[in-house]
Structure formats: structure tokens, C-alpha cells
Amino acid sequence: MQLQTGTTLRDYKIKKLLGKGGMGTVYLAKDSFLDRYVAIKELNPILTADADLIARFRNEAKLQAKLTHLNIVSLYSFFEQNGRYYIVMEYAEGKTLKEVIRQTGPITETRAIDILKQILSALEYAHGMEIIHRDIKPSNIILDGSDRVKILDFGIARILGERGLTQTGQQLGTVAYMSPEQVKAEKDIDSKTDVYSLGVTLFEMLSGRMPYDLNTESDFVIMNKIVHDRLPDPRDDYPYISDKNIDLLAIMTEKDRHKRADIVELELYLSGKNYVGKSERRKEIEAKEVKRIDIKVDSKDPGDATEEGLHVQKNKKESKNLLWIIILISIILGVKMFSKIDVSKNHGDNEINSMIFVEGGSFEMGSDDGWELKERPIHDVTISSFWIDKYQVTQKEWKNIMRSKPSKIKSDNLPVQYVSWYDAIEYCNKRSIKEGLMPCYSGSGDDITCNWEADGYRLPTEAEWEYAARGGNKSRGYKYAGSNTLDDVAWCKSNSQNKIHPIGQKSPNELGIYDMSGNVCEWCWDWYDASYYSKSPKRDPHGPDSGKSKILRGGSWEFSDGTCRVAKRYPIHPLNCDSYLGFRVVRAFN
């Protein structure tokens, strides 16, 4: 039975019916205690006998409770009354994007892209929480009078990898907006299903119509087209769409999700980074899969690790000549003794071999600046002392170790570019071995582990990076690494003249470290988890145990000013390698 106007549920008085959906009915209500309007969703009473559907409804509440973002409808409460189940949500005033398109026809490109960016921001946040929407479509997107976006109905979302409520083969989502993998009921649906659905939504915004005729085509025909046919050209209906946005549609609606752009790539594309030719770029990335590291370091003596031992299993010959073993160990011990003497001699200068000594201490990690929820909450972290590169790793340094230059613009004093996370890990171990140090990394693929006691080179943790960028215990609280004026300390989109620059041309930060806010972005060790800050250890956090993306820190010559803040963090796939990707290394202070 439909609730009548004036009905009271706890502190909520029903004002009117807002709409009905497959899962339930939505009402506008007034919260008499807080004096605000809310939306209340009631599970369809006919379905309450189905325990699985009730469980799914509970799951919707739990998922939404985790999401706090400017562009996502907030969950206020969940309760049961008289055998019926209710979710109390933020009331998003405005019109659905579907209604706007029906009223206006094609939306101008500038307006459509602004709406798209807001949706991408919300999805990036949700995906960082390992939550997929699975039903992105215009009718689930509310626009207020200023075109601010609110995304509705995470009711058929599910946490990645969860196998509980949604059975294999069960289709969830509106057919016309489904991704090919949803149509095929693949088991491992990931975040790129939302990218595809958003691509179809963008098609509708730009052309003023859906890509399929729901009046004449059956669900079967539409699903067959989704799997096998490209989307029609939206310019057949509205010829004034730019080539750039046609290309954008293409990379969002790739049939093969492994070739489809992810959220970070779309944001880069929209900021001016050209991702046309996506399929070719993906071929390069996929080719790197064979390079995923297989490291074996079984001894704490670096003499037991071969220089090429990152891809070749270590073979010990029991018949090694004892004399050669003694000579090798002597050389290694000599190098290590020299290193220790050198460090001791130069410690007072705070620098050795272009590495800066960062004295340990405590700081407040994160930021409340703007709407970047993945930088919250601000939390206290204590860092042990370590050494960090004064400069980003250069092409010359890279070539000396790796015997190649991946960068397209070649110059010894430029930061190395087009480096994946796995490439950086490989460099660290090879350089450690070459210098007679104990390599830090072992394992392969997503199972690479770090020996934090090793004296070799490694990537900084996210916490080490931010502590050093802020100036360590000499910090003056700057927004960027060394200044509140970005142009003084970094190369970014506004001053780079669209090119990378040699290291060390801008001013250093308080510790004497250069370019941490901009030239190339820098890989960190940590896996990404949007909620990690709320559960991070207080001392020397190393990040989550696993994940889909690695952490990238610092700005780039290609990026806008806002991306250069010391607190800014990006999730990015560890196989990515592009013109904005570089790194610097650290060593433990033993």
C-alpha cells in the first residue's frame, strides 16, 4: 500500500510521492527534528517475503553509508518499521539528466563535459572505495539549477569481488546502458563497466537521443548490438559534435574493457592529454605484462643476487671456487664499509651522493583543502629517518642502470619519463645490486614485497614522500613543496610551455629537495585505498596490503596548479607509463 500524504514514520512526515522503481517507492518527507526535507525509499512490500531482496536493500544502505562526496546523494538513516524497510537519504532538488535531455535535446558540449567531469569525480571516489554503481544512466543523475550533479541509486552496486548477493548470470542494470561484460554476465565486473555506461550517457547528452530505439528493438537485439556493434555516430542526429568528443566517446565505449579508458585516463584526456589511438597505447601497456618482475633474493648478502636477477631465477653453483667467493665477499664488504664511512663523513652536510638526509619526525598527513575526500581525514603520522633523492631520477641515471632511454625527448639532465611502477621497482633492485647493496624487493606481479630493513634503493612510501615534500621537521606549512607560490618551485601546465624541463631549475623546498611539486609525477610504493587514511598506522605506514592501483604523488609539467599540492594523491594502474610519469628513490637510514 502506498503511503499517504501526512503519514508519519519516526521523525519523518510524508509530503508526496516522488517516484517508483524496481526496488521500491521514493517519497519526499520532512524531518521534523532537523527541519529539513529528505527522500525516503521504501522496499516494495510485495517483495518483502524475499529474503535475498531484503538483504540487497540492506546492502544498498551499507554501500551508500560509505560514500561521502559532493556529487553523490548522502545516506542519513536506515530502519525497519512494521515489517517494512526504509532508507532516508538526502533530497536532491532538481531535474534528472533524462528530463533535461527530453526538454532541450542535445546539450552543448561545454555543458555536457562539465556534467561528465562531476560524474567522473564521484565515480573515481566510489571506485576508490571499491564500489561500482553498475547502473549509470541519465535518470539516475540529478542536476540542480546550477548544473551541480547528484548521482542516485547505488542500490545495485556491489563491492568489487563480492560474490554474496548477486548470482552469476543475473543481470543488474538498465539494458540500453549496460556494458558488454554486463550483458555477457561476466563474473568479474569491474569499474570500467561504469565508464561504458557513462559513455552511453555522454552519447545521449551530445546527440539528444539514445543509441538504440527502445520502441522497435527488443532487449535481445539491443544486447546483441552492445556486444558486437559499435555505437552509431551521434553526428547522424546532431552534426556539430567536435572530433575530440567523438574520440572521447570511442575510448569510453570500447567493447574490450582492457582497451577501454579508466577514470584517471579520462580525466587526463579532458585536461588536455591526448588519448586518441587508445588501442595502440593499450598494446604497449599489455606488452609490459610479460615484464612483471620475478625477483628472487634469498640471502641478505647482495653477493648472492645476480645483476640481471630480476627476470632470471638465481642459480647457485655448488661447485663455485672458494677463492672467488672470498674475493666477491671482500669486495662487497669493502663497498659497504666505504659507504658507511662516506655517510658518516657527510652527515653533517645533510647530503651524500645527491641524496638528502630526512630526519624522522611527526606531521599531519592529508588535507581538508577543497572537496578532495581521498585526502581526508587529516591524521598524525610519525616517520623514521631516511635518505631521499635530491632530484628526480634522470635519463642519464636510468641509462647507466637499465641500458635504455624510454623517454621520447632525450637529454641526460631531464627526468626519465614513460616509466611504469614495475619499471621503477626493477631500476631500484638493479641499482642496488650494481652498488653492492641489499635489494629491497622480491616476488613477482602483484605479490612483490619490500624488505624494509634492506639498505638498497626503493620507492618512497606515500607517507615518506609527503613528509619530505612538506619539508620534514623544517616544514613551514607551504601548500606546495617549498612555497605557496607554485611558479617558484615547480613546472606545471601554466608555466612549462608544454614541455618537460631539466632537473633542479626551480627553487628547492625546506630540505633542499627539488621538483617535488612539479616536473614529472612520482611513483610511490603504496597500493591505493580511498579510505586508508582513516585506518592508517601512526608510525611508518606502508599502505594497504593489496589493491588495483598504485599511488602517484606530485604535479607534472602537463597538469594544472591544483594537482601540484603536497597533499594531492592519485590512484593509477602500475602498468601505466606515460610522459608525466617518473620517480625518485629513497634508502633506509641504518
Q: What is the CATH number of the domain that holds 282?
A: 1.10.510.10
User: pLDDT-based confidence at 446, cuts 50/70/90?
Assistant: confident
Are residue 232 and residue 261 in the same domain, yes or no?
A: yes
Which pLDDT band holds residue 350 (cuts at 50, 70, 90)?
low
Say yes or no: 112 and 252 in one domain. Answer: yes
Domain that holds residue 537: 294-588
Quote the pTM value: 0.52
- Do 57 and 78 have their domain in common? yes
User: Are residues 407 and 321 located together in one domain of the fold?
Assistant: yes
Amino acid residing at 538: K
What's the pLDDT score for residue 295?
53
Given 90, 110, 133, the domain boundary residue is 90
Hunting for cell 521523525 — which residue is that? 11
User: Is 558 inside any structural domain?
Assistant: yes
Residue 2 lies inside a defined structural domain of this protein: no
334 and 229 belong to one structural domain: no
| Position 545 confidence tier, pLDDT thresholds 50, 70, 90 | very high
Q: Is residue 3 part of a domain?
A: no
Predicted local confidence at residue 351, as pLDDT: 64
Task: Please tell me whether residues 248 and 153 are part of one structural domain.
Answer: yes
User: Between 395-402 and 421-434, two packed helices, what is the crossing angle to 10 degrees?
Assistant: 70
Domain boundary, last residue among 61, 90, 119: 90
Domain count along the chain:
3
In CATH, what number is assigned to the domain containing residue 490? 3.90.1580.10
Residue 1 resides in a domain: no
CA gap 58, 214 in Å, rounded: 32
Rounded CA gap, 157 and 135, in Å? 8
Q: Residues 504, 522: one domain?
A: yes
The average confidence (pLDDT) of the chain is: 82
Does pLDDT of 187 surpass 60? Answer: yes
Nearest to 138 by CA among 127, 125, 156, 152: 152
| Count of alpha carbons within 13 angstroms of residue 418, beta-carbon side | 12
Tell me the pLDDT band of 372, cut-offs 50, 70 and 90: low
pLDDT of residue 215: 82
pLDDT digits (tens, 9 = 90+) for 58-112: 776 777 777 888 899 988 888 888 888 888 999 999 999 999 999 889 999 999 9
What's the alpha-carbon Rg for the chain, to the nearest Å? 27
pLDDT 10s digits, 458-502: 999 999 999 999 999 999 999 999 999 999 999 998 899 989 999
- The answer to whether the CB of 378 falls within 8 A of the CB of 367 is yes
Domain check: are 315 and 248 in the same one?
Answer: no
pLDDT in tens, 217-237: 888 899 999 999 999 999 988
User: Are residues 130 and 66 part of one domain?
Assistant: no
What is the residue type of 476? R
Confidence of residue 51 (pLDDT cuts 50, 70, 90): confident
Strand locations in 82-189, DSSP E?
A: 84-90, 95-96, 131-132, 141-143, 149-151, 158-159
The backbone torsions φ and ψ at residue 68, rounded to the nearest 5 degrees and listed phi first, read -125, 100
- Of the three residues 255, 289, 323, the one that is the final residue of a domain is 289
Res. 40: pLDDT tops 70: yes
Among 188-192, 389-393, 405-409, the range with the most confident prediction by mean pLDDT is: 389-393
Taking 70 as the threshold, does the pLDDT of residue 134 lie above it?
yes
Per-residue pLDDT tens over the stretch 270-316: 877 544 444 343 444 444 444 444 554 443 333 333 333 333 333 33
Pair 268, 311 in one domain: no
For 231-245, what is the mean pLDDT? 89
Active-site residue set:
135
Question: What local confidence, expressed as pLDDT, does residue 254 receive?
Answer: 94
Where residue 405 falls among pLDDT bands split at 50, 70, 90?
confident
Residues paired with 294 in a beta bridge:
444
Around Cβ 397, how many Cβ atoms within 10 Å? 19
Q: Is residue 80 assigned to a domain?
A: yes
On whether the CB atoms of residues 79 and 86 are closer than 8 A, the answer is: yes
* Domain co-membership, 273 together with 304: no
> Are 71 and 103 members of one domain?
no
- With a pLDDT cut of 70, the percent of the chain lying above it is 81
Three-state SS letters, 466-533: HHHHCCHHHCCCCCECCECCHHHHCCCCCCCCCCCCCCCCCCCCCCCCCCCCCECEEEEEEECCCCHH
